[in-house]
């Protein structure tokens, strides 16, 4: 009896341990190992940092040559002081991993199409397959060839691995515990994948397939009206007509063969035309101090852990501060003791799709220059969470991987669409940033950028010695007119990229007479630049507002720079709302509509956090776009909406355009009808919003922004923020995207001063007070004064604590 009781209870105990020592998946819900996870001595509770928590003061790290001081300031920004370059990058890798390991690894998994290993679902598998079929790893391998031996990469990798090896379950970042997996060793390939991931966010935008469909359905003339190459919205980034004196690289002229296809591919995710960034530099002639100032705010989809990791890197020959990408050595955007730089996206078309004709459904051969040429098949193994493997055969051609074929989002067995992307080529960005971090002046800045291929960026520059400059740097294929806008014929080699714009021909200006340089993703250059330029879209509003303000300002202080960075003036509304209102017949309005009309009439065109006019305008705009371009929103055939700027222009100039007719109604609508319908819908939208909330429809509440966790299902780890601004506004924070880092630098010879804030915090650990501590100040449009140190002992009263990394004896 006794024995039976013993065995029974023992079996129950062991069973409970078994059940709670492993994770379970029930339907789509994944449960971590409850015993491990909830154990307050090892599980997630151990990730919660007590009030005033400080990390260890001494650490032993294998691979270091000499001790490295890591001084943390009150924002937990590490100021790394190393006695040699090798130790510097090893320390950067180690320290970054301490705070951001999960994010670093997850981003590489996402880039490489390996998310299914962590969470399985049909949508995730589709995502992974797409990543592989876009050649992300293929590109990373090629890129790596040029930089895998770079000491920064090698040492950074060592540092990350030293940290990973020091971990037990107790120390694992929160997300590993929740999702029940472990970090794998870091590799140089992962550094390359993080860069590809950023390149994908910034340089993979294209609408070739959509444009091809538009061409087929609407004809060339309409395509040119709806999707012009250049909208001529104002100042290009660099405007020096007649000064492009070099002889351009030219290609043999061949007649442009326009495609005649209707492509039925469901391409997702669709390109988002509203992301962008701002940067500008002002010469000493226009500043209060008499020395240059620089401002930069890259806009990205805001996520937690934060996209950027701020730090200072100091060793003989380098003292650089700014933000880094977790997973990549060096400072990416920032300053050093002599120069400052910031980037915005160059928006150029760096993607082409080639229509492939296969000999038969085996896809073993395809037509190239009149011959059947062998394809190369790569079998991708996608590991799923449950341990099974999904095999996907990806066909590679002369152009690159065939992304869409009958096994993926397309139906034809004889045709496929091959993907050519600039990021498939070898490149050495690390070399560029390594030099940029050390550059002392304009000449060294330019030499550093010669190593930079992608993602193509507009680099704003300012130096203590008084120079300002703008350079649009990237690897740009030389294109014939209109080449690359539509799907290209993949059976002719001559349709490929045959030459690239040499660095000496880059769009560039230094110390222009207007006393400032700026970029906000607008059209890059005046019409005398001798290369053909095309893109999915160019920005039309932020750039004009920035240039207007800078042109009309003098004696600019750092506070003026901040005010402009957080400026909520809605130029788009100022240019469109009067026209919209003129179409409203006030005698025909209901009470609620009349109220809305009055609010809009009195609105000052600022999307301030507490503005009700902004809510009504944005609701009107969103409803209007959907009604206007209803023809473009269907999934197949896939089409693209014209830009905001072109839309407003057409509403004013072509009110009877065929597209303004709403397809689902029998009447034939013109611009005025649609504007009125959208107004009625907007008022309904706002009233519906009001009915479920206790607050007034002020813009910050109505916009309802949210900074999500990097893993979308973890909504509990995201943070709501209430701010003004929107896309197309200098303060570009919309619901999800916005200024991921705001920086203002004053380049004074007596010492560089810098201010910054970003929507997150230095720690990636949701159990740390530093996970999101910068958000409130960032949301208010306020800044932190950055501590730029020259030695580890300086300003010690402003620092939080110091960790010394010591070489570990073997």
Partner 1 sequence: MRLFVQIITIIFLGYALEQFLPWWAIAVAAFAGGLLVNTNSNFLAGFVGIGLLWTGKALLTDLTTDVELADRVARIFMLNNKVLLLLVTFLISGFVGGFAAMSGGALRNPAPAR
Q: Which CB sits closer to partner 1, 24 or 373?
A: 24
CA distance 294 to 558: 9
Q: What does the DSSP 8-state code read for residue 809?
A: P
In residues, how long is the chain?
810
- Stretches 258-266, 500-508, 532-540, 714-722: which one binds partner 1 (CB under 8 A)? 714-722
CA 203 to chain centre: 9
Partners of 304 in the β-ladder? 709
CB environment 622-638: b (16+ within 10 A), e (fewer): ebbbebbbbbbeeeebb
Both structure tokens of 561:
């720079």
> Phi-psi region for residue 719, left (φ > 0), alpha (ψ -120 to 50) or beta?
beta
Least distance between partner 1 and beta carbon 632 (Å): 38
Q: Which CB sits closer to partner 1, 19 or 66?
A: 19
Residue of 225, 367, 714, 782 that binds partner 1 (CB under 8 A):
714
- Stretches 157-165, 526-534, 573-581, 710-718: which one binds partner 1 (CB under 8 A)? 710-718
Partners of 354 in the β-ladder? 418, 488
Partners of 318 in the β-ladder? 315
Least distance between partner 1 and beta carbon 715 (Å): 8
Q: Which CB sits closer to partner 1, 331 or 717?
A: 717
Does 51 contact partner 1 by CB under 8 A?
yes
Both structure tokens of 501:
């714009």
CA distance 91 to 66: 11
> Going by C-beta distance under 8 Å and a sequence separation of 6 or more, which residues neighbour residue 14?
none
Give the pairing type, strands 58-61 and 799-807: parallel
Least distance between partner 1 and beta carbon 22 (Å): 12
Place of tokens 């000493």: 284
CA distance 70 to 83: 12
Place of tokens 């004074």: 748
- Whole-Å CA distances, 768 to 74, 706, 721, 761, 779: 14, 19, 19, 9, 20
Does 383 contact partner 1 by CB under 8 A?
no
Least distance between partner 1 and beta carbon 18 (Å): 10
Q: Would you give the binding string for partner 1 spanning residues 389-428, x where CB under 8 A is met?
A: ----------------------------------------
Residue of 427, 543, 615, 768 that binds partner 1 (CB under 8 A):
768
Does 662 contact partner 1 by CB under 8 A?
no
CA distance 513 to 238: 12
Partners of 510 in the β-ladder? 469
Binders of partner 1 among residues 134 to 173 (CB under 8 A) are 169
Binders of partner 1 among residues 19 to 38 (CB under 8 A) are 20-21, 34-36, 38
Residue of 27, 40, 242, 247 that binds partner 1 (CB under 8 A):
40
Partners of 500 in the β-ladder? 477
- Stretches 118-126, 455-463, 545-553, 766-774: which one binds partner 1 (CB under 8 A)? 766-774
Least distance between partner 1 and beta carbon 759 (Å): 18
Q: Would you give the binding string for partner 1 spanning residues 514-533, x where CB under 8 A is met?
A: --------------------
Does 42 contact partner 1 by CB under 8 A?
yes
Size of the site for partner 1 (CB under 8 A): 39
Least distance between partner 1 and beta carbon 38 (Å): 5
Place of tokens 């007119």: 481
Q: Which CB sits closer to partner 1, 106 or 617?
A: 106
Residue 62, class by beta-carbon neighbours within 10 Å (0-12 exposed, 13-18 middle, 19+ buried)?
Answer: middle
Does 766 contact partner 1 by CB under 8 A?
yes
Q: Which CB sits closer to partner 1, 34 or 125?
A: 34
Q: Which CB sits closer to partner 1, 681 or 714?
A: 714
Q: Answer whether 760's CB lies under 8 Å from 306's CB.
A: yes
Q: Which CB sits closer to partner 1, 21 or 272?
A: 21
Residue of 39, 301, 425, 444 that binds partner 1 (CB under 8 A):
39
Looking only at Cα atoms, what is the longest distance across the chain?
102
Binders of partner 1 among residues 252 to 281 (CB under 8 A) are none
Q: Which CB sits closer to partner 1, 21 or 361?
A: 21
Least distance between partner 1 and beta carbon 212 (Å): 44
Catalog residues that contact partner 1 under the rule CB under 8 A: 2-3, 5-6, 9-10, 12-13, 16-17, 20-21, 34-36, 38-45, 47-51, 169, 174, 178, 714, 716-717, 766-769, 771
């Amino acid at each position: 009896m006794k024995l039976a009781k013993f065995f029974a209870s023992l079996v129950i105990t062991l069973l409970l341990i078994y059940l709670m020592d492993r994770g379970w998946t029930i339907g789509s819900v994944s449960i971590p190992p409850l015993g491990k996870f909830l154990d307050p001595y090892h599980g997630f509770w151990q990730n919660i940092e007590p009030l005033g928590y400080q990390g260890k003061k001494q650490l032993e790290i294998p691979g270091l040559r000499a001790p490295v001081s890591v001084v943390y300031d009150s924002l937990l920004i590490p100021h790394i002081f190393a006695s040699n370059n090798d130790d510097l990058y090893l320390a950067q890798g180690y320290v970054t991993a301490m705070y951001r390991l999960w994010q670093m690894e997850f981003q590489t998994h996402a880039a490489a199409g390996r998310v299914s290993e962590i969470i399985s679902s049909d949508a995730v598998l589709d995502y992974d397959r797409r990543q592989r079929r876009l050649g992300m790893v293929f590109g990373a391998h090629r890129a790596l060839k040029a930089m895998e031996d770079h000491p920064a990469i090698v040492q950074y990798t060592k540092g990350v691995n030293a940290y990973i090896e020091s971990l037990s379950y107790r120390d694992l970042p929160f997300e590993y515990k929740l999702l029940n997996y472990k970090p794998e060793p870091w590799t140089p390939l992962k550094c390359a994948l993080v860069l590809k991931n950023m390149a994908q966010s910034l340089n993979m935008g294209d609408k070739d397939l959509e444009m091809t469909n538009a061409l087929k359905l609407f004809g060339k003339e309409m395509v040119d009206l709806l999707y012009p190459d250049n909208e001529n919205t104002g100042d290009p980034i660099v405007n020096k007509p007649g000064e492009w004196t070099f002889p351009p690289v030219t290609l043999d002229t061949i007649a442009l063969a326009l495609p005649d296809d209707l492509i039925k591919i469901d391409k997702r995710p669709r390109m988002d035309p509203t992301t962008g960034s701002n940067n500008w530099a002002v010469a000493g002639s226009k500043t209060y101090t008499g020395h240059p100032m620089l401002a930069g705010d890259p806009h990205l989809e805001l996520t937690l852990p934060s996209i950027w990791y701020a730090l200072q890197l100091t060793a003989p020959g380098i003292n650089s501060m700014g933000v880094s990408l977790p997973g990549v050595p060096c400072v990416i955007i920032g300053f050093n003791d002599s120069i400052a730089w910031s980037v915005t996206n160059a928006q150029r078309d760096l993607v082409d799709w080639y229509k492939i004709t296969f000999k038969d459904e085996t896809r073993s051969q395809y037509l190239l220059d009149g011959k059947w040429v062998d394809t190369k098949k790569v079998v991708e193994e996608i590991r799923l969470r449950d341990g099974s493997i999904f095999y996907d055969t990806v066909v590679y051609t002369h152009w690159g991987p065939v992304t869409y074929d009958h096994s993926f989002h397309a139906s034809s067995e004889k045709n496929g669409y091959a993907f050519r992307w600039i990021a498939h080529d070898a490149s050495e960005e690390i070399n560029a940033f390594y030099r940029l971090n050390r550059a002392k002046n304009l000449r060294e800045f330019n030499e550093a950028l010669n190593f930079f291929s992608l993602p193509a960026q507009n680099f704003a520059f300012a130096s203590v010695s008084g120079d300002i400059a703008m350079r649009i740097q990237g690897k740009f294929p030389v294109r014939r007119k209109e080449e690359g806008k539509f799907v290209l014929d993949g059976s002719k080699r001559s349709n490929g990229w045959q030459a690239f714009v040499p660095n000496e021909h880059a769009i560039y200006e230094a110390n222009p007479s207007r006393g400032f340089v700026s970029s906000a993703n607008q059209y890059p250059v005046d019409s005398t630049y001798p290369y053909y330029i095309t893109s999915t879209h160019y920005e039309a509003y932020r750039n004009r507002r920035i240039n207007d303000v800078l042109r009309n300002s003098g004696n600019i202080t750092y506070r003026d720079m901040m005010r402009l960075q957080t400026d909520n003036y809605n130029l788009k509304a100022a240019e469109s709302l009067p026209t919209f209102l003129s179409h409203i017949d006030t005698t025909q309005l209901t009470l609620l509509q009349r109220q809305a009309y009055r609010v809009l009439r009195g609105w000052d065109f600022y999307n301030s956090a507490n503005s009700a006019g902004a809510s009504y305008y944005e609701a009107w705009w969103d409803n209007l776009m959907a009604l206007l371009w209803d023809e473009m929103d269907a999934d197949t055939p896939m089409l693209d909406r014209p830009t905001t700027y072109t839309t407003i222009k057409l509403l004013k100039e072509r009110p009877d355009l065929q597209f303004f007719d709403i397809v689902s109604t029998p009447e034939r609508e013109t611009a005025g009808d649609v504007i009125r319908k959208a107004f009625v819908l907007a008022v309904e939208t706002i009233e519906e919003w009001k009915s479920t909330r206790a607050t007034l429809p002020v813009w910050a509440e109505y916009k309802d922004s949210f900074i999500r966790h990097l893993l979308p299902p973890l909504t509990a780890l995201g943070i709501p923020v209430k701010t003004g601004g929107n896309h197309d506004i200098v303060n570009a924070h919309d619901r999800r995207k916005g200024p991921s880092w705001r920086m203002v630098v004053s380049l004074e010879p007596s010492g560089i001063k810098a201010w910054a804030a970003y929507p997150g915090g230095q720690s990636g650990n949701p159990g740390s007070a530093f996970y999101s501590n910068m958000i409130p100040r960032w949301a208010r449009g306020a800044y932190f004064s950055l501590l730029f140190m020259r030695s580890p002992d300086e300003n010690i009263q402003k620092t939080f604590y110091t960790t010394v990394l010591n070489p570990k004896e073997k």
